Amino acid sequence: LFITSHYREWIPRQENGTLSSPVISSTMPASVKSSVACTSVVTNPQQRNLNTKTCQFPGCGKGARGASGHCIAHGGGRRCQKPGCQKGAEGRTIYCKAHGGGRRCEFLGCTKSAEGRTDHCIAHGGGRRCSNDGCSRAARGRSGLCIRHGGGKRCQQEKCTKSAEGHSGLCISHGGGRRCQFPECAKGAQGSTKFCKAHGGGKRCTFLGCTKGAEGSTPYCKGHGGGKRCLFEGGGVCPKSVHGGTQYCVAHGGGKRCAISDCTKSARGRTEYCVRHGGGKRCRFDGCVKSAQGSTDFCKAHGGGKRCSWGLPDSSFGIGTEQCDKFARSKTGLCSAHTALVQDHCVHGGGTLGPVIHHFATDVKPDEMEVAAAVKVDPVSMQSEPPLPEGRVHGGGLLALLSRGGNHTGP
């Protein structure tokens, strides 16, 4: 009971100075809080929590949407009206973000959705940014960091620090995210396509006649200048592309290095070692520990790598001859023996001398050959006449001299 100071002077006192029990009349003003009012203030939050529906999916504590009994992630609420799409509709629209629903980026020509409470997409500065000093990338999850600096979900594979893709809890290297739909391919699908880079997925190089995948945010592949370039000596010196997450090419220290001490070579594939120390793909032949060659699964000795094109149906070398199964060692696609043979034909006339001799043998008569053999060459007359061009055939001048020897008469 709360009694104002206006009525305190009317409270009688006992002889010992203590206050006697006052008699409160019905006209005395007092503010009394009822027990019903007090209990209603305390129990309202509990009633509100009890009335809030939670998602019925096992282990999910998010709020349910609508009469479905599930949250948006588990199928509750309004769904996207795009045929075949199971995502939730955004805002007051009937589509999800991927199909044009919700607020869109206000950057001129951009059709992506706006992130968070900003008016732009992630690519144009929208959403939360990474809290790491000097980083302007978008933050992922509640960590406040981008993927490179540890933000977002991480791969659940032991000793893996990469980011998880999709709902699998694994990174792309360990099977997470969407996979390539090409038969017997286990790689991850690129971008919004259904295939990996090797099978035509993702952005392609815009160079005329090139079918390789484009690198990074550039419209070209690595071979045509796409992707980031090596920053050796400040950049502009080395035209090669960077390797891994570094700023340099392999020759200038970029990419992963071999884990063996004092070894400066680059690690191959998903291993921690170079080829000499057991890294990269190995030959699948039983008992062989050598490295596999190229895109094959075997070493050179067991048929791996690029083979000599001599005698192949689509090759211009060795037409109609037996095929060669030796290892190709030059840009022509030939082995060492056939490369030397082709070079010998081009330089020493092996490819052109045969038709000339055949033509000379059929056109020149035997008596003319005898006259040509008896011709004596005058050194003085040889100096006055213009020199005969040897060309690409050794002995070309002799053949020309023999061919016109029938026009001279003996002494």
Q: What pLDDT, on the 0 to 100 scale, is given for residue 4?
A: 46
pLDDT of 234 reads 84
Token digits for 103?
């607020």
* Overall average pLDDT of the 42-70 stretch: 70
Find out whether 194 and 184 touch, Cβ atoms under 8 Å: no
Average pLDDT, the chain: 74
Nearest to 391 by CA among 364, 352, 354, 363: 352
- Per-residue confidence (pLDDT) for residue 401, from 0 to 100: 52
Residue 106: alpha-carbon gap to chain centroid: 29
* Spatial separation of the C-alpha atoms in residues 51 and 43, rounded to whole Å: 12
Residue 229 DSSP one-character state: B
Q: What is the pLDDT of residue 352?
A: 41
Task: Judge contact between 156 and 166, C-beta under 8 A.
Answer: no
- Least Cα distance to 163 among 151, 178, 175 occurs for 151
Q: What pLDDT was estimated at residue 394?
A: 52
Q: Please determine, for residue 180, whether its predicted confidence score (pLDDT) is greater than 80.
A: yes
Handedness of CA 18, 24, 30, 31 (dihedral sign): positive
Beta bridge partners of 19: 13
More confident residue, 405 or 292: 292
In sequence order, the β-bridge partners of residue 129 are 138
Q: What is the DSSP string of 322-334?
A: ----SBP-STTS-
Closest CA to 131 of 119, 123, 140, 122: 140
pLDDT band at 400 (very low <50, low <70, confident <90, very high): low
CA 88 to chain centre: 30
Confidence of residue 12 (pLDDT cuts 50, 70, 90): low
| pLDDT digits 0-9 by tens, 130-179 | 998 888 888 887 888 888 888 888 898 888 888 888 888 888 888 888 89
Mean pLDDT of 214-222: 86
What mean pLDDT is predicted for residues 335-359? 61
User: Rounded distance, CA 106 to CA 125, Å?
Assistant: 11
- Res. 386 pLDDT band, cuts 50 70 90: low
Q: How far is CA 144 from the centre of its chain?
A: 25
Contact predicate 214/191, CB 8 Å: no
Q: How far is CA 120 from CA 102, 144, 188, 321, 333, in A?
A: 12, 18, 29, 66, 53
| Lowest mean pLDDT segment, chosen from 144-158, 244-258, 264-278, 346-360 | 346-360
Neighbours of 90 (CB within 10 A): 20
Per-residue pLDDT, 270: 79
DSSP reduced 3-state for 328: coil
Confidence (pLDDT) at 403: 52
Rg (CA), the chain: 43
Residue 311: pLDDT above 50? yes
Q: Is the pLDDT of residue 65 over 50?
A: yes
